[in-house]
């Protein structure tokens, strides 16, 4: 009996091996390597001849975690919560509407709504920045002008920059969320709804008791991964407001753009690795709490 179980385990690992091996190489190894580099003095002056310096870098890194870092951390938390909430709600509503079988053109709508996803991210962000938000030529200000309003500097104060970044982030991220939700909703056996309809359940009840519980396990991994992506968001914020040579005057930083300006520009790999590891640990601490809650629910 035991032998049989051992064999089962071996078979399981054998089948999973290619996937796990690739993850080990491309995801786990870089983390371990960064951890190793963070203990060395690898920088411009010791590129090849670096030595182990212990936790020196971590001690210095703590200086980066000053008030600027704390406010960036808070902004990032706010950013993550707002973005995720909007994403989930909007994607859920749109996906349920799109699942209306009587909507003949739904395939077309779905495809059109996927468009933002089909473009490389930086292209879209550049389009938004120059095409929409630009104070001189952007469509927003052209519309403002037509409406007889004063031109606005969309990206130059913290609150409006935050909102603009959120808008762009939603635009970029919603297609994926809609698609995942849509896929999940299609996995629900239609007979559940039929019997619920017979029982006289209305839309809210059906949503609450059938749709949400059914799609939850399917979308959970995608949602968790998106939470991390949102938390680690760099491109949207950096390219829209903080790009070197094209700053807009907004003080809104996520922890990654903040770390970029305060550590990564130094070309000190040991030091910036230490900061990466600290951010990594912070994120794990946050998500550990999230996971515990998830289990409590079950």
- The helix/strand/coil state of 40 is strand
Shortest CB 182 distance to another protein, Å: 8
Binding mask 73-102 for another protein (x = CB under 8 A): ---------------------x--xx-x-x
* Cβ distance to another protein smaller for residue 202 or 267: 267
Instruction: Kindly report the backbone phi and psi dihedral angles of residue 148, in degrees, each rounded to the nearest multiple of 5, phi listed first.
Output: 80, 20
**Structural contact between residues 214 and 187, judged by C-beta atoms closer than 8 angstroms:** yes
The only residue of 15, 81, 205, 212 in contact with another protein, by rule CB under 8 A: 15
* Cβ distance to another protein smaller for residue 47 or 85: 47
Distance CA 98, CA 174 (A): 14
The only residue of 71, 153, 160, 210 in contact with another protein, by rule CB under 8 A: 153
Binding mask 112-151 for another protein (x = CB under 8 A): xxxxxxxxxxxxx-xxx-xxx-xxxx-x--x---------
Distance CA 15, CA 79 (A): 39
Per rule CB under 8 A, is residue 249 in the interface with another protein?
yes
Per rule CB under 8 A, is residue 203 in the interface with another protein?
no
Per rule CB under 8 A, is residue 29 in the interface with another protein?
yes
> Contacts by 59-66 with C-beta closer than 8 Å and gap 24+?
60/271, 60/274, 61/263, 61/271, 61/274, 61/275, 61/278, 64/259, 64/262, 64/263, 64/275, 65/278
Sign of CA pseudo-dihedral 81, 83, 89, 91 = negative
Per rule CB under 8 A, is residue 209 in the interface with another protein?
no
Per rule CB under 8 A, is residue 237 in the interface with another protein?
no
Q: CB atoms < 10 A from the CB of 28, how many?
A: 11
Binding to another protein in span 257-296, by CB under 8 A: 259-269, 271-273, 276, 279-280, 283-284, 287, 291
Nearest one of 137, 134, 132 to 116, comparing CA atoms? 132
Per rule CB under 8 A, is residue 247 in the interface with another protein?
yes
Per rule CB under 8 A, is residue 198 in the interface with another protein?
no
The only residue of 244, 293, 297, 298 in contact with another protein, by rule CB under 8 A: 244
Q: CB atoms < 10 A from the CB of 34, how many?
A: 16
Q: Is 286 exposed, middle or buried (0-12, 13-18, 19+ CB in 10 A)?
A: middle
Q: How big is the site for another protein, counted in residues (CB under 8 A)?
A: 126
The only residue of 109, 202, 289, 292 in contact with another protein, by rule CB under 8 A: 109
The only residue of 84, 110, 166, 206 in contact with another protein, by rule CB under 8 A: 110
């Amino acid at each position: 009996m035991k032998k049989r179980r051992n064999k089962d385990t071996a078979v399981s690992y054998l089948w999973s091996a290619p996937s796990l091996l690739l993850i080990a190489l491309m995801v786990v190894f870089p983390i371990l390597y960064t951890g190793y580099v963070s203990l060395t003095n690898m920088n411009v002056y010791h590129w090849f001849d670096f030595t182990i310096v212990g936790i020196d870098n971590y001690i210095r890194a703590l200086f980066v975690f000053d008030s600027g870092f704390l406010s960036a951390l808070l902004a990032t938390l706010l950013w993550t919560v707002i973005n995720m909430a909007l994403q989930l709600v909007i994607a859920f509503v749109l996906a349920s509407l799109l699942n209306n079988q009587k909507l003949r053109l739904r395939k077309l709508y779905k495809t059109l709504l996927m468009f933002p996803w089909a473009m490389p991210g930086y292209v879209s962000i550049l389009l938004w920045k120059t095409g929409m938000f630009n104070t001189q030529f952007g469509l927003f200000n052209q519309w403002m002008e037509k409406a007889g309003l004063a031109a606005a500097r969309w990206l130059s104060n913290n609150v409006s920059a935050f909102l603009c970044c959120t808008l762009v982030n939603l635009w970029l991220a919603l297609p994926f969320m809609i698609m995942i939700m849509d896929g999940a909703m299609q996995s629900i056996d239609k007979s559940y709804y039929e019997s619920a309809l017979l029982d006289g359940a209305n839309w809210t009840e059906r949503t609450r008791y059938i749709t949400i519980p059914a799609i939850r396990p399917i979308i959970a991994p995608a949602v968790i991964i998106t939470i991390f992506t949102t938390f680690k968001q760099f491109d949207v914020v950096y390219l829209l407001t903080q790009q070197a040579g094209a700053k807009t005057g907004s003080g809104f930083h996520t922890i990654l753009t903040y770390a970029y300006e305060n550590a990564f520009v130094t070309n000190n790999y040991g030091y910036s690795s230490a900061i990466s590891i600290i951010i990594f640990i912070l994120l794990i601490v946050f998500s550990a709490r999230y996971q515990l809650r998830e289990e409590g629910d079950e």
